[in-house]
Amino acid sequence: MDFTLTPEQLLIKDSVARFAAENGAGKRADHWKQFAELGWLAIGSPEDLGGFGGPVETLLVLEQFGRGLVVSPYVAQVVFAGAILRAAGRIDLLEELAEGRERFAVAYEEPHARYDAARVETTAAKGADGWILQGTKVRALDAGTAQTLLVSARTAAGVALFAVPADAPGVTRTAYPSEDGYDVADVALTGVKVGAGALVGGDGDGLALLERGLDHATAALCAEALGLCALMLEATVEYTKQRYQFGVPLSSFQALQHRMAEMYVELELLRSMAYLAAMTLEDDTDPVARKRGISAAKAQIAKSARFIGQQAIQLHGGIGMSEEYKVGHYFKRMTLVERLLGDRDYHLARYVALRGATAAEPVPV
């Protein structure tokens, strides 16, 4: 398989790298208008909407965001929501997203659901001219700046998705910062009325749409993890060359060289799995193969990233966890990425549950 980037992909990588170098390192700022002007909101969208590229281009963006520690709602509002809207054929909403006029967040997780998108207790009852939603969602990623929420709810036909205005009567968002400074919110829906056109996809198609969106978002997190871990390894190598002990640099000690070599091996394994996730989404003809590929990547990346992060902190010593030094901030974000949209145990269990399944069979999630 040829992993050589095309000239267009190299341009994307370089432009994102320049942006991340100027606007990253954990600084909170809203660059949505700039993202739209650069075309990054349209990645994966149809060409007639000005879209281009797909999962590999998304990987290039998120890898550089990881390297620069860019605090951005890109995964939640572009990758996650965008994949759902594309799969549902909602070109009207996708156009709003690609042009930067509308921001979407997905509210799917419920109390005690433990990452399982199928555990939906929020209800949607048919009304005279639409639907009435009732329920509670937790940990909706980057919901505070979204104008529209994509909400999963249970109907008589199964799980469905609805586009709900974030300021609709009966919608209450309780926002709070996550440990790494990202925007998270709990969403309460109390008798929220929406029109018939709010249904995203068909009635009962919501779970399949959610699974597709979650897999795309998980692959994007894998790409971000690649950038985070690459930077942590580079910073560790640089520090051990500059830090002296017993009159010689730390990098001269063979035991520490071995540990950094092990970090490099884990990073290359992580890189391979991140590209596997992107390639799996590029050839998305079998939903079972897609789910297995994404879960395999997330499980391995969680393991490799933890090893790299822990070794980086230990080799830096006390400075590694100081507020003034970057490695601790990268490790904090990596710890969150490791658990977002399913931790290692969840994805290992999902991978095993899918063993032997075929695309024609009901698939556990």
**Same domain, residue pair 215 and 333:** yes
pLDDT(360) > 60: no
- Work out the angle at residue 351's Cα, subtended by the Cα atoms of residues 158 and 137, and round it to the nearest 5 degrees: 40
297-321: average pLDDT: 93
b/e map 194-229, b = 16+ CB within 10 Å? beeebbbbebebbbbbbbbbbbbbbbbbbbbbbbbb
Residue 360 is assigned to a structural domain of this protein = no
126-142: average pLDDT: 94
245-260: average pLDDT: 88
- Any idea what the CATH number is for the domain that residue 26 is in? 1.10.540.10
Q: How deeply is 129 buried, as exposed, middle or buried, from its count of CB atoms within 10 A (0-12, 13-18, 19+)?
A: exposed
Residue 363 is assigned to a structural domain of this protein = no
pLDDT(359) > 60: no
pLDDT(20) > 70: yes
**Same domain, residue pair 193 and 216:** no
Q: In the structure, what pLDDT confidence band is assigned to residue 83 with cuts at 50, 70 and 90?
A: very high
Q: How many angstroms separate the Cα of 61 from the Cα of each of 74, 109, 199?
A: 9, 26, 31
- Any idea what the CATH number is for the domain that residue 154 is in? 2.40.110.10
Q: In the structure, what pLDDT confidence band is assigned to residue 362 with cuts at 50, 70 and 90?
A: very low
pLDDT digits (tens, 9 = 90+) for 276-302: 999 999 887 889 999 999 999 999 999
The domain tally of the chain equals 3
Residue 75 is assigned to a structural domain of this protein = yes
Residue 276 is assigned to a structural domain of this protein = yes
**Same domain, residue pair 186 and 63:** no
Report which of residues 123 and 48 the model is more confident about. Answer: 123
Residue entry with tokens 């490695």: 327
- pLDDT at position 2 is 62
Residue 364 is assigned to a structural domain of this protein = no
- pLDDT at position 355 is 83
Question: Among 102, 134, 154, where does a domain finish?
Answer: 102
Q: In the structure, what pLDDT confidence band is assigned to residue 271 with cuts at 50, 70 and 90?
A: very high
Question: Among 202, 234, 263, where does a domain finish?
Answer: 202
Q: In the structure, what pLDDT confidence band is assigned to residue 133 with cuts at 50, 70 and 90?
A: very high
State the pTM of this model: 0.93
Residue-averaged pLDDT of the chain:
92
> How far apart are the C-alpha atoms of 59 and 297, rounded to whole Å?
13
**Same domain, residue pair 147 and 237:** no
- pLDDT at position 4 is 82
- Domain interval for residue 127: 105-202
158 contacts 199 by C-beta, under 8 angstroms: no
Determine how many CB atoms are found less than 10 A away from the CB of residue 184: 18
- pLDDT at position 164 is 97
- pLDDT at position 365 is 43
Q: In the structure, what pLDDT confidence band is assigned to residue 358 with cuts at 50, 70 and 90?
A: low
Strands 148-155 and 104-107: parallel
Q: Pick from 136, 225, 219: which is nearest to 174 by CA?
A: 136
pLDDT(364) > 80: no
- pLDDT at position 273 is 96
Give counts: helices (H), strands (E), the chain.
11, 10
pLDDT(305) > 90: yes
Q: What are phi and psi of 161, to 5 degrees?
A: -115, 140
pLDDT digits (tens, 9 = 90+) for 84-118: 999 999 999 999 999 999 999 999 999 999 899 99
pLDDT(310) > 80: yes
Task: Find the DSSP H helices in 197-253.
Answer: 206-242
> How far apart are the C-alpha atoms of 183 and 19, rounded to whole Å?
21
Report which of residues 45 and 3 the model is more confident about. Answer: 45
309-336: average pLDDT: 90
pLDDT digits (tens, 9 = 90+) for 181-233: 788 999 999 999 999 999 999 999 999 999 999 999 999 999 999 999 999 99
In this prediction, what percent of the chain has a pLDDT beyond 70? 97
- pLDDT at position 363 is 46
Report which of residues 343 and 323 the model is more confident about. Answer: 343
Question: Among 169, 202, 235, where does a domain finish?
Answer: 202
